[in-house]
Amino acid sequence: MLFVGNKIRVTLKQTYQTGKLLIAIMSDTSENSRFYAYLLFAEHFTSKLIGLSSWKMDTVSIFRKNLFCTQLTTFSYKLSIIGSGYNILLVVFYVLCDIFIIKKNLNETNKAPVSIKFAFFSILCISVIPVIYVIRQKILISVKNQIKDVDNELMSCLDYKLVQNNINYWTFIINNVLIYCWIVFMLIFESLWVEIISMLIPMIFGSILIVQYAMIMNMIEKRFKSINVTLLKLKSSMHRTIFNDISSIKFAYFELCDMCDNTADFYGIPTLIVIILFSIRNISNYYEIILVFLSEIEMQNLFYCSGIFAVQTFFLFTTLTTSVTRLLKQNEETSRIINQLLDQFTINQAITEKLSKFSSDLWHMKVEFTLCDIVPLDCSLLTIISGTTVTYLIIAVQFYLNKTDQE
């Protein structure tokens, strides 16, 4: 145990030093678009590696010299036949790994452990997702390219300025640090490489998918917030500029609403699959931990991995749901601000009519995020998952206690 403890301390120390270095870089270049460009490239590369980015990204412009914040909108995404072919090959690889894992763990009676069966089921489920990306990639390519159109339109507004934040930085970095820690602990505590692969593939795949979804939500939310800030500034603007600004803001707002609908439609099935798989594994991990306290079962080293997985699942679900909740709040805030402007510009008939038309159109532009129209994807999802997890744990523990009493 002393040797294991020393290894954990060394791992945590290296992670801490890496985190300090990243914080130092971000503090120096948080307003520098080049660091953000590198983040986009890193996210695109890691996603493509596992089959979550079958399209082509304009990576040449990322490494161009003298890249400024206003040039971030030049990044474009295109359909890629090579990327689509790579995804198909990756699906074949996942399926072959799945078959190998289940055959490798069959015992004399041709029965595999429950954990291996679930790993087989998990890899089989996530193998469907790269195929979905290939078939429906045009939807997400359109969303990513629409961001450029929205930014170009909003830049024509006199007082527009894109709100800056580091949410996507931290989301991407924290997720990768947790993946790194989980891999290290698996290599330390698990001796069978087949077990390691069977657990790593679904975990890495699912976590990167949720982070990818959350980062897109944050980009859209930032533009909704920027629109609201610009609308508030119209109160002090000259009347001759307000009319054109309202037209640009209205176009951008409708584009963002369309992007929200397309994004929710694209990620519906993949996100539902990942959330179900992660929730089932978490219930299993919690159940094993509870049994340690209810019986004389010795705590295994793999419980450390279960703990990290629980932390990562909480981080992923919280990040995604809070991103959606923030976006919905900014979307609803627009209606309230427009009503304030209507009271402000009662004297100018042309502006009042323009704002009234904008306000009436908002009733038909309702933004919703759900998992295949089954459950909402806001913070209420955390309540549903928590309640379901607790319910299943109570039932499982009750069965265990009844079985123990009978014996």
pLDDT digits (tens, 9 = 90+) for 248-267: 999 999 999 999 999 999 99
Give the mean model confidence (pLDDT) for residues 186-200: 76
Give the mean model confidence (pLDDT) for residues 201-215: 93
The pLDDT value recorded for residue 71 is 45
Show the tokens assigned to 154: 């909003």
Please check whether residue 114 lies inside any domain of the structure.
no
**What is the pLDDT of the chain when averaged over all its residues?**
81
pLDDT band of residue 346 (cuts 50, 70, 90) is low
Same domain, 23 and 170: no
Please check whether residue 71 lies inside any domain of the structure.
no
Q: Percent of the chain having pLDDT more than 90?
A: 36
Please check whether residue 345 lies inside any domain of the structure.
yes
Give the mean model confidence (pLDDT) for residues 116-140: 89
Partnered with residue 103 across adjacent β-strands are none
Tell the residue number behind the tokens 């800056």, with chain if given.
Answer: 164
The pLDDT value recorded for residue 225 is 93
pLDDT band of residue 111 (cuts 50, 70, 90) is low
The pLDDT value recorded for residue 264 is 95
Whether 150 and 249 have beta carbons less than 8 Å apart is answered as no
The total of structural domains in the chain comes to 2
Q: Which residue has the higher pLDDT, 65 or 137?
A: 137
Please check whether residue 76 lies inside any domain of the structure.
no
The pLDDT value recorded for residue 407 is 62
Indicate if the pLDDT at residue 120 is higher than 90: no
Give the mean model confidence (pLDDT) for residues 31-51: 78
Same domain, 167 and 19: no
**91 CB-side CA count, 13 A:** 17
Range of the domain at 17: 1-30
User: Among positive and negative, which fits the CA dihedral 341, 346, 352, 353?
Assistant: positive
Cα distances (angstroms) measured from residue 337 to each of 151, 207, 228? 21, 36, 7
Q: Which residue has the higher pLDDT, 29 or 102?
A: 102
Indicate if the pLDDT at residue 220 is higher than 70: yes
Same domain, 160 and 305: yes
Same domain, 269 and 402: yes
Please check whether residue 81 lies inside any domain of the structure.
no
pLDDT band of residue 143 (cuts 50, 70, 90) is very high
Please check whether residue 180 lies inside any domain of the structure.
yes
Please check whether residue 58 lies inside any domain of the structure.
no
Give the mean model confidence (pLDDT) for residues 288-303: 73
Same domain, 303 and 174: yes
Whether 113 and 41 have beta carbons less than 8 Å apart is answered as no
